[in-house]
Copies of this chain bind each other. A is one copy, B any other.
């Protein structure tokens, strides 16, 4: 006998975990579509040369790669951005621009398995490609806002910044070539504090204490959005790149508010840098006000050129990624997941053997009215079937034995309260039952 087990770092999704997961993905799809983003899919396996050297050394090391049966070196995608770049280079002539797509699909990384991190996980990305317009930037904020609201989260903060502001400041300080090490240090500001960050900048990026101070003055610029926007020109010393970045950031902030994003959900935070990403313009992070510690649940930004490795066509764009697993963990800690193992609310015990077809007909009529129903498959004792119903998390049971069928009525039992009511029902007149169930499950 073979031991049934999953690979280290991989997991099965049982119904109680898969139901909210599937709901979350469906909600994301609906929001993306409502903004005109269209779905695409790409193969799990790509030519190895498409994937290697595109992320970091780490992603190369973690890549699942092998030779296929035809001797071709292939790899499993480790994100959805590299396949998007390859896809765009290959198809943009057919698709035209602007091209707005979403892609919800698993990716694989041979990471060291640890609490809450798996070697297979789903990414959920949306991007607008082929335009540098600020409207696309504003819209990205609106999409994030709509996503979180549709998921049922009210208290969240979308932090926005523009990478160009820091780029401009570094230019004005003569540090343009030290952007990467400065960003790397700056990313630690929240964790290690001002002094240590300044020291690290001096030591590892080789800047002067005065330069580090100027960078930190920018990162620490705090307050309400309009006053930050007003103080940024002075802090960045009138540099042109920074000025354009400030103007764009102002447009995005005001445009998002005008589009209906609530001001208490939108924040300008010039300290966010997303240092190790490839963004060049606006950047986003989204935190849950009740769970700030879990980090950003939706991050993204604007990039200059998506697919330079595969095509000469210049493809600027903007996009973000919803952190599905992080959000599900958050919803769980907030007590927002029901924990049910069943995707429908109504249970019909089958305990009077002679009426099998009546149970089936009743269930079919409810389904035609849009109500999901499970009929127990075997005529076991009623108590046993109701125990099953409780364990699965059904909301309502419809109980009908020989007497009920004869009397033309069924019992509608709310399982949480154990309360029952008699409701008239016959195959010819199902409406009263349909209404009672709709009332009991709404």
Contact = CB atoms under 8 A, between A and B. Distances in A.
A278 interface: no
A1 B311 CA distance: 7
Given A108-B44, A360-B258, A100 B374 contact: yes
B12 A98 contact: no
A70 interface: yes
Interface string A1-21: 111111110111111001101
A12 B91 contact: yes
Contacts of A35: 344, 367, 372-374
Nearest to A42: B12
A248 interface: no
A152 to B, nearest CB: 16
A416 interface: no
A49 B120 contact: no
A225 to B, nearest CB: 16
A364 B142 CA distance: 9
A133 interface: yes
Nearest to A76: B44
Contacts of A146: 367
A106 interface: yes
Interface string A251-271: 000110011100000000000
A242 interface: no
Interface string A50-79: 100000000001101011111010101000
Nearest to A122: B41
Contacts of A49: 2
A49 to B, nearest CB: 6
Contacts of A10: 43, 45
A277 interface: no
Interface string A76-118: 1000000000110111001110101100001010100000000
B260 A364 contact: yes
10 contacts: A3-B310, A8-B72, A14-B91, A34-B344, A34-B372, A35-B367, A64-B68, A96-B388, A98-B377, A254-B357
Given A44-B106, A139-B377, 20 more contacts: A1-B309, A2-B310, A4-B90, A5-B86, A6-B47, A6-B90, A7-B46, A7-B72, A12-B41, A14-B95, A21-B39, A34-B372, A38-B343, A45-B120, A64-B68, A64-B69, A68-B110, A70-B110, A131-B377, A142-B360
Q: Which 8 residue pairs spanning A and B have beta carbons closest together? A: A36-B374, A66-B66, A15-B38, A258-B357, A10-B43, A33-B343, A4-B89, A259-B360
